[in-house]
């Protein structure tokens, strides 16, 4: 099953390679991984999506936690959490299909951020499955290049009382 793990760590020399190396060295899979500055200078948050049964995920979390530079490891999978991914998709476009592409873009609440006589570049954000769906719909026009960030995620705080 797919898991989303959030790791907060001191971004010292060698910290990122240690996190990534743990996965390759112990044979765990990484579906996506993203790094960005955390809530304090010097802290980085990684969001890792990985596959594995309960025992493997437990081992992953423990080994991540064991790394000297790691402060906090949370497996968000079984908690309510918010998750977003951003993708830039460059598709072939001609004057004749430009309107159609823009329509698809609108449906996914995506944005066109670059245009050339032969291409459009579209920015899509959302949960990974939405990004996948948008890319799927854009496929028919001919995709030239894709750049995706991988998921970033945080635990959802307000859980409502309905």
Structure tokens, 162: 């309905």
Binding track over 34-73 against another protein, x by CB under 8 A: ---------------------x--xx--xx-xxxxxxx--
Smallest separation (angstroms) from another protein to the CB of 75: 14
Q: Which stretch binds another protein (CB under 8 A): 18-26, 88-96, 127-135, 139-147?
A: 18-26
Residue 37 contacts residue 46 (beta carbons within 8 Å)? no
Torsion angle in degrees (nearest 10) through CA of 63, 64, 66, 70: 180
Helix spans in 42-119 (H): 54-66, 98-107
- Strand pairing report for 70-75 and 32-37: unpaired
Q: What phi and psi, each to the nearest 5 degrees, are found at residue 19? A: -65, -50
Please give the structure tokens belonging to residue 7: 């790791």
Size of the site for another protein (CB under 8 A): 20
Any contact of residue 30 with another protein (CB under 8 A)? Answer: no
Q: Between residues 13 and 158, which has the closer beta carbon with respect to another protein?
A: 13
The answer to whether residue 10 forms part of the interface with another protein (CB under 8 A) is: yes
- Least distance in Å: CB of 155 to another protein? 20
Positions that interact with another protein (CB under 8 A) = 9-10, 13-14, 17-18, 21, 25, 55, 58-59, 62-63, 65-71
């Amino acid at each position: 099953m797919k898991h989303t793990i959030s790791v907060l760590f001191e971004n010292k020399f060698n910290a990122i390679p240690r996190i990534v190396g743990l996965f390759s060295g112990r044979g765990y899979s990484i579906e996506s991984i993203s790094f960005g500055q955390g809530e304090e200078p010097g802290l980085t948050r990684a969001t890792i999506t990985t596959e594995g049964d309960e025992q493997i995920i437990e081992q992953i979390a423990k080994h991540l936690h064991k790394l000297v530079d790691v402060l906090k490891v949370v497996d968000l999978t079984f908690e309510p959490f918010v998750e977003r991914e951003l993708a830039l998709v460059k598709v072939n476009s001609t004057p004749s299909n430009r309107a159609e592409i823009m329509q698809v873009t609108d449906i996914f609440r995506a944005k066109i951020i670059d245009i050339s006589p032969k291409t459009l570049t579209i920015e899509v954000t959302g949960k990974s499955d939405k990004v996948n769906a948008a890319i799927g719909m854009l496929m028919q026009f001919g995709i030239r290049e894709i750049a995706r960030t991988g998921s970033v995620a945080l635990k959802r705080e307000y859980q409502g009382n309905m």
